[in-house]
Structure 1
């Protein structure tokens, strides 16, 4: 028999973790809006909530799989950002650094 307090605590913790995963997905999908997004409090795991109730096992497994997928996506995004930063730095160095940085202007609008 599962303690009802444990079930409620784990349900709330999993909901908070899912909200955190939702925020990461939004960040990955809408990187252009990242600068406009406010600071979000990071998930802090609760302490002393007891063992995971059996009825929440499937939900927890799905969440772990989702988090692993998101961590892979974040790694790819971080690597891409680093590559872009290296390219920008190299472009600045090769341009002599004395003038304005090159810009792209799209006048199709």
Structure 2
């Protein structure tokens, strides 16, 4: 039973770490299509019981990475909103047609 318990936790942490690594890779690649969500979203396993003590450092490291990724995502979303607000204020000339020159010969 003890081996199954540790194995289940190790598998759960492996899956969680792969999810964090996928988001980190997306953030590192400026040209990646961010509109496509990951195919398999990580879901917390049920009925695992307490985390084995020897896996706590790994779980803490994954949590630290998750928090850093969440902070970076929030920063980029804020930057995108600011850029969108700025570009919406730029007048393109499409909505209002103005004369480009004035013919004073007449």
* TM-score scaled by length of structure 1: 0.76
Q: Deviations over 1:18-69 (max 9, x none)?
A: 1111111111111311258664221111111111011101101111111111
Q: Any runs of at least 4 consecutive aligned residues in structure 1 with deviations exceeding 6 A, and if so which?
A: none
Larger radius of gyration between Structure 1 and Structure 2: 2
Which consecutive residues of structure 1, in runs of 5 or more, have no partner in the other structure? 100-109
* Greater displacement, 16-25 / 29-38: 29-38
Q: 1:97 to 1:5 in 2, by over 3 A?
A: farther
- Per the normalisation by structure 2, the TM-score is 0.78
The unaligned stretches of length 5 or more in structure 2 are 97-106
Q: How many residues align?
A: 96
Q: How does 1:1-109 map to 2 (within 5 A)?
A: 3-35=2-34, 39-91=38-90, 94-98=91-95
SS class of match (1:32): coil
